[in-house]
Homo-oligomer: A and B are copies of this chain.
Amino acid sequence: MEKKIFLSDKDMPKAWYNIQADLTTPLPPPLNPETDEPVTPDMLEAIFPMNLIEQEMSTERFITIPDEVMERLLMWRPTPLCRATALEKFLGTPAQIYYKNESVSPPGSHKPNTAIAQVYYNKVAGVKRLTTETGAGQWGSALSFACNQFGMELKVYMVRVSFNQKPYRRIMMETWGGKCVPSPSPDTAAGRKFLEGNPDHPGSLGMAISEAIEDAVTSENTKYSLGSVLNHVLLHQSVIGLEAQKQLASIGRYPDVVIGCAGGGSNFAGISFPFLRDKINGKEIRVIGSEPTSSPSLTKGRYVYDFGDTAGMTPLLPMYSIGHAFVPAPIHAGGLRYHGMAPLVSRVFADGLIEARSYNQIETFSAGLVFAQTEGFIPAPETNHAIACAIDEAKKAKEEGKEKVILFNFSGQGTIDLPSYDAFLSGKLQDYSMPEGEIEELLRELKKIS
């Protein structure tokens, strides 16, 4: 029995898998909030290059990975598939638990899978400079790494409170040559407006998005880049599941359950969509998205048309949401603090193809600690949500006496998040949940999708 299954460079998938080709119900189009009409490609061109907009709307089943993207993905891909034998033993479960280790990339997460692709397509389209926002810094650092690889200029607007509290991510961005400023900043009209009211404004993801988009729209040869939610982002993450399929097949296994943590939805889609294709084609398999109780878009939200951002600047996206005005609790899993869920993930959820489950903060850290003390690797707080769910499934397998195969995505490593483990170990972590009434209020004016 092997502990790890590697794929060689030549076994790396040659194309991304696009679930839009296999959806049982077509994806509702994004809408212009002023007219309620579908958004046309040219309306997105102010912020994205046309080649990525085409990918966003494509229904081709497979899209070839360009050579220059492949060359960079091979810096750390294919990632190892590992069998969590020590965790299985600890749980005394008959289940086999496998995890796909996406933490081996230079910035330590799955994020560069799409960062590399996005920077490449922007470069091909003649773009010279990108802007983005970042909260805790995972996305900003992945995009900085990718921009460095292609000689693309980058400016990251980082939520000021994180900029001050989490200098490691800022330094990582700068090490790869990216420029990172605290948001709100004096560099944009939106930022100056926020600063006028309060020169020490702590900022928010919504404000940082406003600044990054304004910068992209008003600067020469500049576009904007987003790290999750959109179809093309999920497309680029499909390499995770495609590799896992090959790796499991090489040892004669097929998963009974596939699990990913779900914030915007990209790592969850990455591990699960290639398996969902099998499910749509008749294969029996369960797929579970694991989210925080404090941002429960799938487990407590509704399928509505909502803004992708907090400030209401984006088109209306068809997604499970708890309302764009919702301010997520300050959990350590910063990457899961999002009010909505990617339209593609929302669609397959509405179609009953996937399940969802939510976990509170302390339970996820307990799961992460069990993982660190069995399998060794210290997970990112986001990843702890997938682990909590995998442990639950393994316990259920024990109760039922079933030898099921569980696969989850180990989306990121926790080194930079060690202070959150300190808080957990010293009993300072807090649980959060959301009263049902609050969600009804937040969603009241949004258009429901059936």
Contacts and interface: CB of A to CB of B under 8 A. Distances in A.
Contacts of A421: 171, 174-175
Interface string A148-170: 11000000000000000001100
A62 interface: no
A3 interface: yes
B372 A171 contact: no
Given A9-B3, A175-B425, A176-B373, A167 B74 contact: no
A287 B6 CA distance: 30
A10 B6 contact: no
Interface residues of A, number: 41
Nearest to A12: B3
Given A106-B377, A168-B415, A168-B418, A372 B6 contact: no
A413 to B, nearest CB: 8
Nearest to A426: B174
- Chain A's interface: helix, strand, loop or mixed, by majority? helix
Nearest to A368: B175
Contacts of A145: 376
A415 B177 CA distance: 16
Interface string A1-33: 011101011100000000000000000000000
A172 interface: yes
A111 to B, nearest CB: 13
Nearest to A7: B6
B422 A75 contact: no
Residue among A71, A167, A378 having the largest count of chain B Cβ atoms under 10 Å: A378
B8 A376 contact: no
Given A167-B422, A175-B369, A415-B416, 9 more contacts: A3-B9, A4-B74, A6-B6, A6-B8, A86-B149, A104-B104, A145-B376, A171-B419, A172-B378
7 contacts: A4-B74, A104-B104, A167-B418, A172-B378, A174-B421, A175-B418, A176-B373
Interface of A: 2-4, 6, 8-10, 71, 74-76, 86, 104-106, 108, 145, 148-149, 167-168, 171-172, 174-177, 369, 372-373, 375-378, 415-416, 418-419, 421-422, 425
